Chains A and B, each alone.
Chain A
Amino acid sequence: MLWKRQALTAGVGVLAFGMALSACSSGSSGSSGGGQVTLNLATVNNGQMKDMESLKSEYEKAHPNVKVNFQVMEEGDLRSAVTADVASKAGQYDIVTIGAYETPQWGANGWLVDLTPALSKDSAYDINDLLPPVRDVNTYNGKLFAVPFYGESSILMYNKEVMDKAGVTIPENPTWQEIADAAKKVNTKDMSGICMRGKPGWGDLFAPLTTVVQTFGGNWYDNSWNATVNTPEWKDAVTFYKTLLDTSGEKDPVSYSFNECLTALKEGKAAMWADASVAASMLEANDSPVKGKMGYAHMPVNKTKESGWLWSWNLAIPATTKHQAEATDFVKWATSKDYIKLVGTKIGWSNVPPGSRTSTYSIPEYKTAAAAYAPITLSVMSSVNPKQPGVNAQPYVGIQYVSIPEFQDVGNQCAQLVADYLANRSSVDDALGKCQDLAQKAGDAHKG
């Protein structure tokens, strides 16, 4: 009996997952008694969101009839809980936090309230102040389905001292070849020339790798959803990535993603790093050994003008809410210019949610607090093009991901195949050939 029970664990796990989901959707919905409105807000456990939770009392003070109830979750939990709730029209949440990856998909499904009319009516809100590329990734069919709370792109970060010593200058807009040469030059036994994500995962390895593929002229799909993974452009890009890692990258790429590279940079174990722009604020933090020693540049390119990625966490209102007016009002407050100033004065200017509004970057206090990386972040974030990040047109809006539900799975499996190539366990043709089949299967579901 004992063995049998052990054997059943696998099945039980799957069931537990299902039960957890149904438990999530059976929670209480916002009650409205005596003019009192409770807004249920589901959000992700990032620092910026927790700041919003601590500032909600300011909003409640100004709106005595509204109470905002925060439900903070891990990214993965949030994704499944909110997807299940919104898709099944359970209506548990009045406001949800979703990524740029979800917005166009959910907008197309009719699950979200179109916020364009409410926001463009209000001149004080100034909808045109939202950074255009971030607005683009959250727009479907001309309708803004989610408002950016904060956003990020990717940039190249390098240790100025190391570069100076080696006599290498990094231009403001470098090419990948220049960076590969520079990395080779500064690569030593104790310090790798560059750190790049290699951990297999759609959000790990494939975030930077997709941008490399795009600037090398490739992409996941052509304009009619035919997978284009087994093309020469992909082969060039992936081979380049491997050569870069082999000659001057970190030694154990499968173990390395954002956090590991951040540590390597801080400890002086890597000279350069191309990753999320938010990393700059961590490298410039007071406890960082490399504070003030870092230089920043645009993401390296090959055939395109820009190659930064684009991500944003956004607030959206499910179509099932019973308090649309109140929810809209709160979303407006949390993404307004005044909110950014509120965070600056109450919590600190370096904690201001970045990458959502152009005007943030002209606030004097923020300009001083984030002098090292604010200009480059603004410059990159306003110049990337999520409608066509690569050389050719694509049938979706988004840069380092394909905004179809299947992409998480396809990206993940392809990342494992590429990791096998990076470790010399398979050939590039073999890896990309198998990935092509996976991508094609997913693309077929979106044809027509």
Chain B
Amino acid sequence: MTTTTAPRAVAPPSEGRKQAQRKNTWISRGLLSPAVIFLILLTQIPFVVTIGFSTIRWNLLYPLQRGFTGIDNYKAALSSGDLWPAIVATVLITAFAVVFSLLFGLLFAVLLDRNLPGRAIARTLMITPFLIMPAAASLIWKYSMFDTNIGMVNWALQLLHLPIVSWSTEHPMASVVIVLTWQFTPFMMLILLAGLQGQSREVLEAAQVDGAGAWRTFTWITLPHLRMYIEIGVLLGSVIIIQVFDPVAILTKGTGGTKTLAYLLYERAFIGLNIGEAAAYGVVTVVLTIIVATVALKTLFKVFMAGGER
């Protein structure tokens, strides 16, 4: 952020030059400062304030009992037994949703990678689930797909003479994962499609000449080529899906092992109306996420660097 114009002079700079250079540095710093200040205001101050909140006994329902409590909120958050199940729920939902949307994304990307009539329209249609607001997507699934009376999924099951499934009641985790998979398949598809279209035709032709079948070409040439794209898709997808809230709030209300960290935070702050405790949960979540994100970031850079070598 503090990089300045590289000194052009080869000879040791004179006193006047040095001064001019220092002035230059300050000007560029000054020009940068609005952005830096904005960044700090936007990211760091809220976090510091949240840490402040987390040390305060502050229940909106008992406004007169507000006061400093030290680490009591953290004790309550860590001893309530809610945190670990929420971490497990978040990890499981994220993992399943990412894996399934990656598999479906790969399938559709391969299908769309060939020259078929109406490819542009098909591609646009395939992308739409990703453009729908998460809350709207969850509502669509709740009423027009999963509903036991009018839902299309159960209608299809009935046609096949299969029993009706009570999705949100009996399979809450599967319901949330299905909605997320539906939403994020286009995301994965786009990334993988980019990878497929970047594949060199000559290599594929060479494989054909050498007598490799479609399956062999795919597993031995296309998949290794896609590896980098898959890794990026997994990383970006995880980062987005880990914050999942809408399907949980609309379909399952956090029952049956679907209470993710985001939903838990919402519950503490807006139903428990306990700002102090919610802030403590928030801080714990941030610490955990920073640890995970650091590892993920390192992997990401490795992917990029390895990608350059490949």
Interface residues of A (CB under 8 A from B): 3-18, 21, 76, 80, 83-84, 87-88, 198-201, 250-255, 264, 267, 269, 405-406, 408-409, 412, 415-416, 419-420, 422-425
A252-B168, A264-B149 given as contacts; is B286 within 8 A of A408 (CB)? no
A254-B168, A264-B149 given as contacts; is B253 within 8 A of A8 (CB)? no
With contacts A4-B43, A80-B60 known, what are 12 further pairs, Cβ within 8 A?
Answer: A3-B239, A6-B243, A11-B286, A12-B46, A14-B53, A17-B269, A21-B60, A200-B254, A252-B146, A252-B148, A416-B254, A423-B170
Decide if B270 is an interface residue (CB 8 Å cutoff).
yes
A9-B243, A10-B285 given as contacts; is B63 within 8 A of A84 (CB)? yes
Q: Do B278 and A14 have beta carbons less than 8 Å apart?
A: yes
Q: Of the candidates B59, B270, B283, which one forms a contact with A17 in the assembled complex, judged by CB atoms under 8 Å apart?
A: B270
* Shortest beta-carbon distance from A397 to chain B in Å: 18
* Shortest beta-carbon distance from A27 to chain B in Å: 17
A13-B282, A251-B164, A252-B166 given as contacts; is B293 within 8 A of A4 (CB)? yes
Chain A residues lying within 8 Å of B254, measured Cβ to Cβ, are 200, 416
Q: Do B253 and A10 have beta carbons less than 8 Å apart?
A: no
Q: How many residue-residue contacts, CB under 8 A, span A and B?
A: 148
Chain B residues lying within 8 Å of A13, measured Cβ to Cβ, are 265, 269, 282
- A17–B269 CA distance with the chains assembled, in angstroms: 8
Q: B58-72 toward A: CB 8 Å interface, digit per residue (1/0)?
A: 011111100000000
- A298–B234 CA distance with the chains assembled, in angstroms: 56
The A-contacting residues of B in range 248-292, CB under 8 angstroms, are: 251-256, 259, 261-262, 265, 267, 269-275, 278-279, 282-283, 285-286, 289-290
A264-B149, A423-B255 given as contacts; is B169 within 8 A of A253 (CB)? yes
* Shortest beta-carbon distance from A304 to chain B in Å: 29
Q: Do B286 and A80 have beta carbons less than 8 Å apart?
A: no
- A290–B167 CA distance with the chains assembled, in angstroms: 28
* Interface size bracket, B side: 35 or more
The A-contacting residues of B in range 118-169, CB under 8 angstroms, are: 142, 146-150, 164, 166-169
Chain B residues lying within 8 Å of A264, measured Cβ to Cβ, are 149
Interface of B is mostly: helix
Q: Do B251 and A255 have beta carbons less than 8 Å apart?
A: yes
Q: Would you list 13 pairs from A and B whose C-beta atoms are within 8 A, ordered by A residue? A: A7-B290, A10-B261, A21-B60, A251-B164, A252-B167, A254-B166, A254-B255, A405-B273, A409-B272, A415-B253, A416-B253, A423-B255, A424-B170
Chain A residues lying within 8 Å of B60, measured Cβ to Cβ, are 21, 80, 83-84, 87
**Most chain-B Cβ atoms within 10 A of its Cβ — which of A4, A254, A416?**
A254
A254-B172, A254-B253 given as contacts; is B63 within 8 A of A87 (CB)? yes
Q: Of the candidates A12, A83, A255, A415, which one forms a contact with B168 in the assembled complex, judged by CB atoms under 8 Å apart?
A: A255
Q: Do A7 and B269 have beta carbons less than 8 Å apart?
A: no
Q: Do B273 and A408 have beta carbons less than 8 Å apart?
A: yes
Q: Do B142 and A255 have beta carbons less than 8 Å apart?
A: yes
- A254–B176 CA distance with the chains assembled, in angstroms: 13
Decide if B297 is an interface residue (CB 8 Å cutoff).
yes
- A250–B169 CA distance with the chains assembled, in angstroms: 11
- A269–B68 CA distance with the chains assembled, in angstroms: 54
Q: Do A255 and B53 have beta carbons less than 8 Å apart?
A: no
- A88–B65 CA distance with the chains assembled, in angstroms: 11
Chain A residues lying within 8 Å of B262, measured Cβ to Cβ, are 10
